[in-house]
Amino acid sequence: MKKFFTLSIACLFFAVAHAQQLSPAQLFPGLFQAVQLSGVYPDNKTFVDALPKQDPAIILKAYNQQKNKPDFDLKQFVDAYFTAPGSGSNNFTSDVKAGIREHIDTLWQVLYRKHNIVPPYSSLIALPHDFIVPGGRFREVYYWDSYFTMLGLKQSHKNQLIKNMVDNFAYLIDHFGFIPNGNRTYYLTRSQPPFFAMMVSLLAKIESDTVLVHYQPELLKEYAYWMSGTNNLKNGQAFKTLVRLNDGTLLNRYWDTSDQPREESYKQDVAAAKLTKQKLPDFYHNIRAAAASGWDFSSRWFDASGKLETIQTTHIIPVDLNCLLYHLETVIAQSYALQGNTAQKQYYQAKAAERKKAILAYCWDEKAGWFMDYNWKLQQVSPVETLAGVFPLAFGLASKTQAESVAQKLKTKFLKSGGLVSTVNRTGQQWDAPNAWAPLEYMAIDGLEKYQQKELAKEVAERWIVINNRVFEQTGKLMEKYNVLDTDVKAGGGEYPLQDGFGWTNGVLLDLMNRYHVNP
């Protein structure tokens, strides 16, 4: 009897664990679509983060029995069977008089999440260590956000938390073969900008270079994810995240394996699809690939019309993505050098050298004096100048002349009263003008510093610190993005209201205030 009981418990645990790998759309077919299209919740992310009160099979059976009854009320049903998620930061406002530094210090506690709090059937994926979330509607860990959050944690001397978060990402790589967009089941079809090597390098600066060797297995798995299909890919073709150009050059793009509307933005994607001329699977791949880029959405991914329905993300080889993969290749090479493995060190150094050559050949636009994305379908640089063009400076890929050209254009075209705009195009999308984002400000400042453009770097940093502090004094909050053109107006655009918290804003702001010795 005891053996049977133990076996039953084990089977139950397996069933729950298996269910937790299924997304809400997979767990609740029919009900999911009805809820997301109905407007029961104003934000589609609410339902996919909601907690089922019973086994999904029981809920789905009840829905199918009741849905066609004359008095059926979908909202009442959802309220009866699901618990809507709360926000851990929206209701928090610190004492403005205490200052922005104390606010950030307190926010680390507000944004802190315990690793073991994942109820059965939640869309949340359990992690082995505690972590920091961005804030607002973003109640889970996010991949590229976390690097910039870690910059602030380092300034706050929370080094153990940085290690915990790096270990969480290593766990995700080991468990899924890549780092998902976030630790939710509905994010298991895509990754995000690959900053894991940057996180490992940051931790190595805190501890020692042996960190690079410790995480070498995960660095290699991350690289394998991005380079999957290398051996079988023909010239002029793409496979998932990989593109082989007509001359055999290998570069990368963003990709999501699903060709369905995003679960967390289902209603918006279905509505947008009605306007496109693309085949629906292609359109959804493009929408999802832009989400994988972190730049969701921007004219960067559109045709000359600047409209969302023309999105062509899978045609674009992003300059920033390939710079990050260049860095990954160099870090893997360093890890092998530390082991005395000369052959593997040279192999990855060669890969990095090949990628650098390709970035300079395909992404540098001499006429524009700027690093651009490359449209591999049209075999030409993308016409939209974006702040992603600073990444070759941040990773030391640019020549001195190229860096001077980029610095000049930053000063004359991108620099506004509150900082650097992501693009100069006003499309209503949140990654276009008039908005600016902490991670791009940081990468630009870092790139300028590397090429001795110190005066401009400091000017950008000081303008960014000023607008962050001004909004804080007005609202008691730090935001996910800022309007740097109309600095008296909140940033806007995109699929959801402006969020506060905010992990990467806190991290970058604290780093810059300490770097430039600013005490607002």
Residues of the chain with pLDDT under 50: 1-20
Q: In terms of C-beta density within 10 A (0-12 exposed, 13-18 middle, 19 or more buried), how is residue 142 classed?
A: buried
- The pLDDT of residue 243: 98
3-state secondary structure of 182: strand
Question: Rounded to two decimals, what is the model's pTM?
Answer: 0.94
- Ramachandran area for residue 369 (φ above 0: left; ψ -120 to 50: alpha; else beta): left
Neighbours of 209 (CB within 10 A): 14
Q: Tell whether the torsion through CA atoms of 165, 171, 174 and 175 is positive or negative.
A: negative
- The pLDDT of residue 92: 67
- Measured CA to CA, the distance from residue 202 to residue 208 in angstroms comes to 10
Q: In terms of C-beta density within 10 A (0-12 exposed, 13-18 middle, 19 or more buried), how is residue 90 classed?
A: middle
Cβ contact 28:59 at 8 Å: yes
* Domain ranges across the chain: 19-83
- The pLDDT of residue 9: 35
The secondary structure of residue 238, as a DSSP letter, is E
Cβ contact 269:284 at 8 Å: yes
Cβ contact 440:390 at 8 Å: yes
* Catalytic residue ranges: 296, 480
Residues in the chain: 520
Q: In terms of C-beta density within 10 A (0-12 exposed, 13-18 middle, 19 or more buried), how is residue 353 classed?
A: middle
- The pLDDT of residue 87: 58
Collect all residues with Cβ–Cβ distance below 8 Å to 171 and sequence separation of at least 6.
127, 128
Tokens of 200: 């490992």
Nearest Cα to Cα of residue 60 among 119, 121, 8, 17: 121
